Amino acid sequence: MKKILITGCAGFIGFHISQLFLEKNFKVIGVDNLNNYYDVKLKNKRLSILIRNKNFSFKKLDINNSVKLKKIFSQKIYAVLHFAAQAGVRYSIDNPYSYFSSNLLGFCNILQIAKYYKVKKFIFASSSSIYGEKNTLPFNENISDQDNPIQLYAATKRSNEIIARSYFNLFKMNIIGLRFFTVYGNFGRPDMAIFKFTKNIISEKKIEVYNYGRHFRDFTHIEDVKNAVFKIFKKSKDSSNGRYEIINVGSGRPVNLNTIIQILEKSIGKKAKIKYIKKQIGDVKGTFSDVKKLKKKFGFSQQISIKEGLENFVSWYKQNYKI
Ligand SMILES: NC(=O)c1ccc[n+]([C@@H]2O[C@H](COP(=O)([O-])OP(=O)(O)OC[C@H]3O[C@@H](n4cnc5c(N)ncnc54)[C@H](O)[C@@H]3O)[C@@H](O)[C@H]2O)c1
Query: Cα of 16 to ligand 1 centre, how many Å?
Result: 12
- The atom of ligand 1 lying closest to the CA of 63 is 32
Which tens digits make up the pLDDT trace of 87-113? 999 999 999 999 999 999 999 999 999
pLDDT of residue 133: 87
Which of 83, 186, 226 maximizes ligand 1 atoms within 8 Å of its Cβ, making it the mutation to test the pocket?
Answer: 83
**pLDDT under 50 in the chain at which residues?**
none
Question: What dihedral angle (degrees, nearest 10) is formed by the CA atoms of 111, 290, 181, 268?
Answer: -160
Cβ of 106 less than 6 Å from ligand 1: yes
Q: Are strands 174-180 and 243-249 parallel, antiparallel or unpaired?
A: parallel
Query: Cα of 251 to ligand 1 centre, how many Å?
Result: 20
What is the C-alpha to C-alpha distance for residues 222 and 274, in angstroms, rounded to an integer? 27
pLDDT of residue 81: 98
Q: Model pTM?
A: 0.98
Cβ of 69 less than 6 Å from ligand 1: no
CB 82 within 8 A of CB 160: no
Q: What's the fold here for domain 3-182+220-252+288-302?
A: Rossmann fold (3.40.50)
Can you give the C-alpha Rg of the chain in angstroms?
Answer: 19
Three-state SS for 146?
coil
Cβ of 125 less than 6 Å from ligand 1: yes
